[in-house]
């Protein structure tokens, strides 16, 4: 989780190593507020802005961007929650401190059942049922982030551990053939464990590997 540590350092630097604003008030004319320098040449002395003046707005833009990044990466790297319900084989809703969050299981992909642009796929219902069996409503869980906090749909990206026995749900679904691996950089936290689990499930012909021949096959195809 090196990316998160890097952002933490940047945020700390911005907030704690900047010059403290003065409480004194000065009145300046517009001419005084814009620094000038003098260039002497064949045409005589002329006034112009110093070369660094043009850098002001890019620098301010960079600082503003970093401040925004700090606020969006301020989510904790792990936290405890309670399962509200299952959406499909790789998405569920978890209550985190009284806030219902849609959580996408990191590193895996299950056949679609509720995708707006795809028909239901082979073994999708089985994958959804398996997730519902593993995480029934009210189950206590720990969610752990990787580098990226959310996907483009606003869902939290996480590895989910069932607190009752320490079962990592992402890994369990792949191990038993209910999900395939889906690696998207820079989220590498469980990449090798998930890849090894998929290889074992393929070799044993578990779940979707025997029923469908692989993920994302048409239902009844």
CATH number at residue 92: 2.40.50.90
C-alpha pair distances (Å), 219 with each of 163, 192, 212: 34, 30, 9
Domain tally for the chain?
A: 2
CA triple 176-215-217, angle to 5 deg: 135
Q: Is residue 47 part of a domain?
A: yes
Q: Which helix (H) or strand (E) holds 194?
A: helix 191-204
211 CB-near residues (< 8 Å, 6+ apart): 122, 123, 126
Mean pLDDT of 92-109: 97
Please tell me what DSSP assigns to residue 95: E
Catalytic residue among 101, 112, 126, 161: 112
pLDDT score, position 116: 75
Q: Are residues 84 and 184 in the same domain?
A: yes
Distance CA 141, CA 108 (A): 18
Given 155, 161, 175, 198, the catalytic residue: 155
- pLDDT band per the 50, 70, 90 thresholds, residue 117: confident
pLDDT for 75: 59
Lowest-confidence range among 97-106, 115-124, 172-181? 115-124
91: nearest Cα among 179, 190, 194, 187? 179
Residue ending a domain, among 72, 106, 121, is 72
Q: Which residues span the domain enclosing 123?
A: 78-211
Q: Is the pLDDT reported for residue 119 higher than 50?
A: yes
**pLDDT band for position 35 (cuts 50, 70, 90):** very low
pLDDT band, residue 216 (cuts 50/70/90) = confident
Question: Residue range 118-133: average pLDDT?
Answer: 94
CA distance 28 to 123: 72
Which domain-ending residue is among 34, 52, 72?
72
Residue 82 tokens read as: 């309670």
Q: Report the alpha-carbon distance of residue 126 to residue 86 in Å, rounded.
A: 13
pLDDT of residue 76: 64
Active site (annotated) includes residue 155: yes
Last residue of a domain, one of 45, 72, 99: 72
Q: Distance of alpha carbon 154 from its chain centroid, rounded? A: 9
Q: Average model confidence (pLDDT) for the chain?
A: 77
Report the range of poorest mean pLDDT among 23-37, 83-97, 105-119. 23-37
Query: Of the listed 104, 130, 145, 198, which one is catalytic?
Result: 104
């Amino acid at each position: 989780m090196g990316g998160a540590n890097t952002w933490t350092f940047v945020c700390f630097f911005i907030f704690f190593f900047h010059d403290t604003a003065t409480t004194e008030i000065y009145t300046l004319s517009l001419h005084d507020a814009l620094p000038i320098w003098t260039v002497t040449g064949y045409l005589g002395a002329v006034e112009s802005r110093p070369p660094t003046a043009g850098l002001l707005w890019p620098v301010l833009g960079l600082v503003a961007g970093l401040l925004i990044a700090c606020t969006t990466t301020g989510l904790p790297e792990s936290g405890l929650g309670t399962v509200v319900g299952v959406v499909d084989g790789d998405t569920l809703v978890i209550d985190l401190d009284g806030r219902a969050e849609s959580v996408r299981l990191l590193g895996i992909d299950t056949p679609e059942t509720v995708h707006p642009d795809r028909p239901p796929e082979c073994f999708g219902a089985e994958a959804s049922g398996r997730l519902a069996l593993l995480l029934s409503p009210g189950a206590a869980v720990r969610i752990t982030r990787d580098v990226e906090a959310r996907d483009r749909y606003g869902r939290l990206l996480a590895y989910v551990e069932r607190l009752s026995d320490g079962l990592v749900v992402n890994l369990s679904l792949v191990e038993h053939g209910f999900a395939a691996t889906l690696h998207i950089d820079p989220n590498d936290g469980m990449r090798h464990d998930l890849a090894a689990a998929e290889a074992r499930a393929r070799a044993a012909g578990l779940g979707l590997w025997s029923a469908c021949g692989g993920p994302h096959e048409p239902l009844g195809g």
